[in-house]
Amino acid sequence: MSLYWETADLLTAPANSGGSLKSRIFSKKDLKSQPAQIYALAIETCKWSSVLREVVENADILRVERKLTPILSILLAHDLILAKKGVALPATHGLRVAIERHKNRLQAEFTRARVRRKVGSAEAFKAFVESGLENGGDGSEMLRPRWIRINTLRTTLEDQLETTFSGYERSTTVGGVRNQGSKRLFIDSHVPNLIAISPNIDLSKSDAYKSGEIIFQDKASCFPAHLLDPLAEDGDIIDACAAPGNKTTHIAAILLSHSSEPDECSQVVHAFEKSKGRAETLEKMVNLAGSNTWTKLHPGQDFLKTDPESAAFKNVMALLLDPSCSGSGIIGRDDMPELHLPAIKQPSSSTSKPQKKGSKVPEPTSGARKSKKSDHDDALDVMVDDDGEVTAVNSDDELKARIEALSKFQLELLLHAFKFPAAKKITYSTCSIYAGENELVVRKALEHPFAKERGWRILKREEQIRGMQQWPVRGSSETCDSDEVLAEACIRANKDDEHCTMGFFLAGFIRDVKPRKDVDAEFLRDERGHLVRDMMGFPVRVNPQEVNFGSANEDVDIAPVRLVPTDEGEDEWAGFGDDDMAIVEQDNSAPLPQDTPKQDKKSGGGSRHGTNKKRTQLGITDKMRKKSKKSN
């Protein structure tokens, strides 16, 4: 009984009362009706509202039914005319009686509305409205294509083109699939196995979707796994904030695409999700996509509380970080659906009728719609992060404080990822449009002493995988303090531009695992830049105390020498060698080594490999023992 009242209240609530329609409904804790039922009724009614307004106005029921408000009239009319089960109220309920009293008139006006639009049948009329043709170009959301990733763990692009998308017209640009009512397909050039289809097509009930062969995923959301590009030599991978699992399954698909023997792939994708509820969604997604064989779930575990030195992560060489953010780049996150409300006709002369009709309801309704859009355009009334948490933001200062709190957490996550000893590449991404969560976090991470100590640096544009190199939208040079290399290395996507993606940010980090040691700086130089040498001719160290003259069982930090045998069997120092160096073992009970067996040129004794084989023979040889006995 409360379904229609609660839906009406949510649809007519002020614009600053909780974000998008979905977030308003599912964040409201005191609803008596099922949130999903309210959401479905609200969305479908808004979709049909321009038609239903026309039907209710022409049936003139608001003037005679005092119990019905404009919003209640179109909600009830929707279920009466379009819902399979009709109005979801008891037969004797006042609202149901009021709307069903005019059933024949309403159905007749609905038919006239279809005929006026030159649509032949009721089914065709539904398709007409579903495709967005009823609203024309009023809503930009209707012009966004549907992005679909082909899940190569279960199928191939070629198979899907021949089956699920066999009847589609091929478009050479993403703009070509944006036309309403078309059935077109575009194959993306930046991310492999990604396509875009016309926005009016719904594949949520298709076999390919139900079996996990296709995954609904925005193009920008595919960037992180593609940039990470885990190879066979990259060891295990961590997805630090994995739910709902689109990026996790994408990692597994890329990993297997690089393996010649997928069944023998021993690499593991560690998927962390601290929220147990979201972890359940992650598990379902992983199983549906078929990546469970290579994915180890860590449900309810916080990535920040993991021990990077743990043996379980000793082979982790790549990490994907997509932490909680403001969600300001998500399409539809701050939008409310457009709602057309009917006006109440007044018994008056025909000349005054249009004036009253135009001034009674449409003007406030139109004004409300405009205020909703303008209120949300400044993005200051509410913030909904990617976990669905709604935070009221009433000023620039509150927005700044919220961004700072998020960026602190994001930086902490990135620095924690730097600590994994075997890690050599990381991607960091957000679905935020704010620089405070994006370029500024990257700059702070790179400037951190720990990042410099471990050898972490930005993945430059020219080092990125080809698809990401070619992506034209890059980071903000101003936010990067005019560092063009850093700005070019950062990847951005803008929502509602010609690329048809959500708002997104991405940066890659790579590690010089063995930073070059400045050996030259360890030695003194004179005013001319020449090495200063001691009496023996050795270079003098800047810090002589670092040289360790320990016991015979300790390593001696001195320049290694090489003993070279001569034909006469006499000892001779041959100086320093690049390849054949040996450290003289100290033995207080034995005389110094005199000679080593002569190498045969044919045996490759002069090579590096030959020297390595003979190193265990250095010391006092049998021949020298005999000479020592004779001299005694």
Place of tokens 């993306």: 188
Per-residue three-class SS string for 203-221: CCCCHHHHCCCEEECCCHH
Q: How far apart are CA 632 and CA 112, in angstroms?
A: 126
Contact 315, 422 (CB under 8 A): yes
DSSP alpha helix (H) spans, 154-220:
157-162, 207-210
* DSSP element (H, E) containing 571: none
Q: How far apart are CA 575 and CA 577, in angstroms?
A: 7
* DSSP element (H, E) containing 504: strand 504-511
List the structure tokens of 47.
């979709």
List the structure tokens of 610.
């030959």
Contact 320, 251 (CB under 8 A): yes
Catalytic residue among 46, 325, 431, 500: 431
Q: Is 266 helix (H, G, I), strand (E, B) or coil?
A: coil
Cross-strand pairs, 551: none
Q: Is 168 helix (H, G, I), strand (E, B) or coil?
A: coil
Residues 6+ apart with CB under 8 A from 171: 177, 184, 185, 186
Q: How far apart are CA 13 and CA 8, in angstroms?
A: 8
Strands (DSSP E) along 386-498, which ranges? 390-392, 425-430, 456-458, 491-493
Classify residue 370 as exposed, middle or buried by CB count within 10 Å of its CB (0-12, 13-18, 19+).
exposed
Classify residue 106 as exposed, middle or buried by CB count within 10 Å of its CB (0-12, 13-18, 19+).
buried
CA dihedral 161, 165, 166, 170 (to 10 degrees): -80
DSSP state of 379: T
Q: How far apart are CA 498 and CA 496, in angstroms?
A: 7
Strands (DSSP E) along 210-367, which ranges? 214-216, 236-239, 269-273, 295-299, 316-321
Nearest to 12 by CA among 97, 73, 91: 73
Residues 6+ apart with CB under 8 A from 454: 418, 419, 511
Residues 6+ apart with CB under 8 A from 16: 375, 381, 382, 392
431 is catalytic: yes
Q: How far apart are CA 303 and CA 298, in angstroms?
A: 9
Nearest to 218 by CA among 367, 101, 322: 322
- Tell me which residues are annotated as active site: 431
